[in-house]
Amino acid sequence: MCLEDLPDVLTGRKKAHEVLFPDGSFDAVEAVYHSDHDTNGLVARLVAEYVRARRAADPGAAVSVLEIGAGTGGTTAKVLPALDGLGGGLRYMYTDISRGFTQHGRSRYGADHPFVDFRPLDIEQPPAGQGFEPGAYDIVLACNVLHATRRIDDTLAHARQLLRPGGVLIVLETTRKQDFFTMTFGLMSGWWAAEDDCRLPGSPLLSVPLWRQALERSGFHRVRGLSPAPVREDRAFQAVVLAEKEGARPVAAGEATDAGEPAAATIAEPTTEAVSGPVDEAADRVTAPAGADAGEDTGGTADGAAFGSPLQERVAAAWQEVLGLTSVRPDDDFQDVGGDSILLTQIISRLKNGFPVELDLGELFQARTLADMAGLLEAELIEKIDQLPDDAVNTLLA
């Protein structure tokens, strides 16, 4: 995917996310996550099976599902079609720490699946403080995301807060180290965010036995590991781990399909913890969009004030388009209006388009406000002013 760029990334000439998300595009990364067909398919079957069983027990039951770190929708792309046609009263909340991913989800899945909502959620922070109702969800799904948080116990406590009593947490994770992930996602700072000591050595990942311990420590019970194929749990490269929150159990999850067949192989508990090779995956840690809420605009009004220059107008247009804001102001702080590193890559790609001077991406990443970013563009133009055609200078620096 990005091997030829590895020397540039390692020597600092390029940023890893420029390579993994070229011009802010998710295409390269999507190919990796959408390829976990069997395990994503297993998650989809588990969710659909749960919803069907709830409906069988209580035809009018409303069922709510929340997906944490949905990203490009590697799992969602399997789960939503499995839920189509399962009737009204179904709600699916597609969340991610990055507003870029929730916007991507909305444009990819929103039109075809009207029962889905899209909102930012940082699972490292208490969900209630981010506008999510505690105890409101029957199923919480987290695929290839929980390992990317700093403290697994805090993360699991937050996931548990979202669940109703008797609700089910479904975790899909890479559960052994793999070189491919180390050489790709491992180049991004988010991969190495872990601050606790419950991971596989030299990696942010947890094996199935380590997930079991963490989940039980966090108050979950009936924890079990599943895999599309039978494998001893300490040998599984990927696994689905199911855990329940105490309380009345509306239906059993992950125990049988509607056909009465086992939904998946329950993987055997190991006698030893076998670990080998190096690591990993994960998208870059991005700053939580402070104040971001439910895909609402957070940029405030433009107060009718004119921008100070055509360059500010140009930057404003890119911010509005990428962040989905109706108005922005020169002193708006990028992170405060919901920006993150992936969205910034998309903005820069728009700014580069037709701009007569090469842009220094590293510098643009330092800009905090809209005015700062326009100022950096202006500085680039002024530096090269002697080499530029007059009409470009007049239009952009008027």
Q: Which residues, other chains included, contact 185 with Cβ-Cβ below 8 Å and sequence gap of 6+? A: 20, 191, 280, 281, 282, 283
- State the minimum distance, in angstroms, from the CB of residue 39 to ligand SAM: 9
Is the CB of 71 or the CB of 324 nearer to ligand SAM? Answer: 71
Q: State the CB neighbour count (10 A cutoff) for residue 166.
A: 15
Q: Which is nearer to ligand SAM, 121 or 316 (CB)?
A: 121
Q: How far apart are CA 362 and CA 367, in angstroms?
A: 10
Minimum CB distance to ligand SAM smaller for 43 or for 381: 43
Q: Where are the beta strands (DSSP E) in the chain?
A: 63-68, 90-96, 116-120, 137-143, 163-174, 220-227, 238-245, 265-266
CB of 248 to ligand SAM, least distance (A): 28
Whichever of 315 and 343 has its CB closer to ligand SAM, that residue is 343
In the three-class reduction of DSSP (H, G, I as helix; E, B as strand; rest coil), residue 243 is classed as strand
Q: What is the Cα–Cα distance from 65 to 127, expressed in whole angstroms?
A: 15
Name the minimum Å distance from CB 59 to ligand SAM.
31
Residue 148 CB, nearest approach to ligand SAM (Å): 4
Q: What's the closest the beta carbon of residue 67 comes to ligand SAM, in angstroms?
A: 7
Residues making contact with ligand SAM (CB under 6 A): 33, 68-72, 74-75, 96-98, 101, 121-124, 143-145, 148-149, 281-283, 285
Closest separation in Å from C-beta 143 to ligand SAM:
4
Residue number with CB closer to ligand SAM (128 or 385): 128
Cβ distance to ligand SAM smaller for residue 50 or 185: 185
Q: Judge whether 155 and 123 are in contact, CB under 8 Å.
A: yes
Nearer to ligand SAM, 68 or 325 (CB): 68
* Pick from 294, 295, 305: nearest CA to 332: 305
> Tokens 């890119």 label which residue?
318
Q: How far is the CB of 173 from ligand SAM (least distance, A)?
A: 10
CB atoms within 10 A of CB 258: 12
Q: What is the 3-state secondary structure of 179-202?
A: HHHHHCHHHCHHHHCCCCCCCCCC
